[in-house]
Structure 1
Amino acid sequence: MKKNKFIFLSEKDILAIANNEKSFPKGGVVITVDDGWLSNEKNVIEIAQKHQVPITIFVATDAIEHGNYWWPYITKARDLGMDFPSVKKLKQVSNKERERVVTNIKKRISLERQALDLSQLKKASQSRYINIGAHTVHHPILINCEDGESFREIKNSKFQIEEWLNRKVVSFAYPNGDYSEREINYLQKLNFSSAYTTKPEYLTKEKLQKIYELPRFCIYEGISKAEAICRMMGVWQRFFKD
C-alpha cells in the first residue's frame, strides 16, 4: 500500500473528515485490529512503528486482565471431545446462557495467555501510531445481551481503558460486528465519537455520516497473501460470504 501511494488515516483523521475539517483523500486507508491478541505486539504494533502507519487496536478488557477470550475455551473443550455447543451456536443464544457454558468449561480446562497483558498495552499506547479503542469487557454478542448487560459491557470497557492509560477512549468496535439501535444510543450517551462494524463495504464520505456504523473489510490470519489483498480491496467480498 505504501509503495502504491495509499494514504493511511488515523482515528483523528477519520473524525476530522466526518466533521468536514479535512478533505477525504484519494486512496485513503484505515487499519484497525480487534481484541488485543498477544501476537499483536509483533505483527501489528512493531510493524506500525516500523512503517509509521497509524493503527487502532480495539481491546476486550477482561482478556487483557485475565489472559484469554471466551471462544478459545470452547474450541479446546470440543477438541478434547467434551460435549459443549459450538462457538457458532453460542453466538446465537442469550448472553447469560453463553456465560453459563463458558464458566462451566473454565472449571475444567485452562489455557495459556493469548491476549496482550496490561504492561504491553500501556507500552503500545505510548506509540504515536497506536490508538487504543474499546471492544467491551467480555466480548459478548451485544444483541444477545439484556439492556443493562449491553450498557455495562460498553461503559466498563471504556472506563477501564481510560483508567489504565490515563486518556480518553472515543472509538469502539462491535464484537462480531453485531449491534442494534440500542447500542448506538449507548455509545452516544457515553460520548464515543465513532464505532466500527464488520459490514464489508468501502468507507466513503457518505458512510461517514453514520459515524457509529463505519464499515470494514475483514482480513483473517491463515489466509493467503492473494486472498488478503483481495479482501483489502473489497474484491473478495463480491464473490464470497464469510
Structure 2
Amino acid sequence: MKKIIFALLRYSGLPVLFREVFQRNKVTVLVFHEMDFQTAETSFAYLSKNYNFISLDMLVEAIQRKDSSHLPKKAMVVTFDDGHAGNYALLPVLKKYKVPATIFICSGIIDTGRHYWFREGLDRQTIRHLKEIPNKDRIAFLRSKGFELEKEYPVKQALSMAQIEEMSPFVSFQSHTVSHPILSRCEDEESEWEISESKRALEKKLKRPINAIAYPNGSYTKREVVFARDAGYACALTVKPGYNSTHSDPFLLRRLDPNDTSDINELIVKSSGIQTVLGSL
C-alpha cells in the first residue's frame, strides 16, 4: 500500500512543487544510515539532477555569516549516521556524483570490533522500549542479554581507520557521540561526556577538527544543545523534519529521512519534504 501511495504522490506533481517552491531558497539536509550500493547509485543519480549538493560546512558558514548569497538554489547536504562499515562501499558513488557527504561516527565503535547496541537481534518493539528508558536501565537490559559496550566481536560493524582515511578526501567525518546512547535518557554527566569525549577522541584519531555532531536517534533536550556548544562544536543535527536557512539555529539543524529506501518513488517524495506537511508516511 505504501508503495502505491508514494507512486501516486510522485506522479501527482507535488514533489516538483515542493522542490521548486519550498526548497528552492532553503537548504535540505538528508540523513541516511546503511543504504546498499545499487540504492545509492539510483538515489544519487536522481538527487544530483534535481538538487545542488553542498557540504555541511558551507551551510554552517552561511548561517554564521547570515549570508545565503553563496548558496545555490535547491541546495542539499547529504549525511550518514553511525559510521556503518557498509558506507565504505558507497565511496565510488559519492565520487561519481560529487557528493560532499558527512558521516557521523561513534568514537568508541569505529576501528574496533564493538557492535552497535541496536543491531543485536532485538525486535523493533524492544528497541523502541530501550530508547524510552533511563540509560542505565538500557545498559543493564543489554548486559542481561550478553551485550557489553566494549565487547569485541569477530565481525566488525563499523568503519575502520583505514577506510576512513581512504574516504576522508571526499567525505567529512564528524561526531555521533562515543557509544550511541539516547542522550535525553542519560544523566547529566553521561550526556556531557558522550558529547565532549567523542570530539576529543575523534580529533586525536583523525588529526583534524571535529565541528559537528548529530544527536543519536535525533534525541536531545536543551541540555544537549548547551553541552554541544560548550564542547566547541559549530553545529548539531536533529532528525526533526524540515528545511534550513541562514536563520536556522545551527544546533538544531533539521533533516529529512528517506529511510535508506530502495523505492525511487519514496526517495523522491521524502527528499522533497512532503511528509512535513502530510505527516508521517
Q: What interval of TM-score do these two structures reach, taking the shorter chain for normalisation?
A: 0.7 to 0.9
Match of 2:167 among 94, 105, 124: 124
Q: SS at 1:122's partner residue?
A: helix
Match of 2:61 among 9, 13, 16: 16
Distance in 1 between the 2:233 and 2:157 partners?
28
Q: Indicate conservation of the 8 Å contact 1:74/1:102, yes or no.
A: no
Distance in 2 between the 1:67 and 1:120 partners?
16
Q: SS at 1:100's partner residue?
A: helix
- The superposition leaves residues 82-140 of structure 1 with CA deviations (integer Å, 9 ceiling, x where unpaired) of xxx70000001100111111223235996732221222122222x1x311110011101
Number of the residue aligned with 1:114: 157
In the alignment, structure 1 residue 175 sits paired with structure 2 residue 216: yes
In the alignment, structure 1 residue 163 sits paired with structure 2 residue 204: yes
In the alignment, structure 1 residue 46 sits paired with structure 2 residue 87: no
CA RMSD of aligned residues (A): 2.2
Distance in 2 between the 1:101 and 1:234 partners?
36
Distance in 2 between the 1:203 and 1:107 partners?
38
**Alignment-mate amino acid for residue 86 of structure 2:** S
Distance in 2 between the 1:71 and 1:222 partners?
19
Matches within 5 A, 1:45-64: 45-64=91-110
**Alignment-mate amino acid for residue 52 of structure 1:** K
Could you tell me how far 1:52 is from its partner in structure 2? Answer: 1.7
Q: Alignment identity in percent?
A: 30
Could you tell me how far 1:22 is from its partner in structure 2? Answer: 5.1
Number of the residue aligned with 1:91: 131
Count of matched residue positions in the alignment of Structure 1 and Structure 2: 229
| Structure 2 gap ranges (5+) | 1-46
Q: Cα distance 1:34–1:182, how it changes in 2: closer, same or farther (>3 A)? A: same
Number of the residue aligned with 1:82: none
Matches within 5 A, 1:206-225: 206-207=247-248, 210-225=249-264
Could you tell me how far 1:66 is from its partner in structure 2? Answer: 2.9
Higher RCO, 1 vs 2 (CA within 8 Å, ≥6 residues apart): 2
In the alignment, structure 1 residue 232 sits paired with structure 2 residue 271: yes
- The superposition leaves residues 36-92 of structure 1 with CA deviations (integer Å, 9 ceiling, x where unpaired) of 01111113x3321222221000011222123420011152xx59xxxxx70000001
Q: Indicate conservation of the 8 Å contact 1:74/1:105, yes or no.
A: no
Distance in 2 between the 1:160 and 1:8 partners?
29
Could you tell me how far 1:225 is from its partner in structure 2? Answer: 1.2
Number of the residue aligned with 1:30: 77
| Structure 1 gap ranges (5+) | 80-84
